[in-house]
């Protein structure tokens, strides 16, 4: 994902929250000029995630055809594990970043991704 692709988004919105167990979640929504631009963002992020963020494991997200989830192998020096999901529908893409204090499965991230995807408007 290049900075230029993010900068060409027409609208951007970011929200975040934390759970009592120390898990943090950030969701970034990006609306692009076209469906193609959103698809290109998805493809570019998916292709570059492993190299730039060190997210080695990749998984499909059940129930969402245009989504991928990534997980950082092992824990960082602070004992946290990074997980991300990227998806798009029509001209809107989103990126979810979740940081947990212990190794985990992607189940929670998959649920967040499916929930966010179902909230996106669809043109048909």
Domains of the chain: 3-119 (3.40.1000.70)
Residue 4 confidence (pLDDT): 47
Report the distance separating Cα 32 and Cα 20, nearest Å. Answer: 34
Phi, psi for 6 (deg, rounded to 5): -70, -40
Question: Residue 66 burial (CB < 10 Å; 0-12/13-18/19+)?
Answer: middle
For residue 108, give every residue at least 6 positions away whose Cβ sits within 8 Å of its Cβ, in sequence order, or none.
23, 98
Residue 62 confidence (pLDDT): 79
Give, for all 124 residues of the chain, the pLDDT tens digit: 454 455 567 888 899 999 998 889 999 999 999 999 999 999 888 887 756 655 566 777 878 888 988 888 778 888 888 888 999 999 999 999 999 887 677 788 889 999 999 998 887 6
């Amino acid at each position: 994902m290049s900075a230029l692709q993010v900068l060409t988004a027409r609208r951007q919105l970011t929200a975040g929250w934390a759970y009592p167990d120390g898990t943090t979640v950030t969701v970034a929504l990006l609306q692009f000029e076209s469906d193609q631009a959103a698809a290109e963002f998805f493809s570019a992020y998916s292709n570059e995630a492993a190299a730039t963020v060190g997210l080695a494991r990749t998984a499909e997200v059940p129930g969402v055809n245009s989504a991928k989830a990534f997980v950082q192998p092992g824990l960082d020096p602070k004992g946290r594990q990074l997980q991300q999901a990227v998806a798009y529908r029509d001209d809107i893409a989103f990126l979810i970043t979740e940081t947990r204090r212990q190794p985990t499965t992607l189940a929670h991230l998959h649920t967040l991704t499916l929930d966010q995807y179902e909230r996106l408007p669809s043109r048909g």
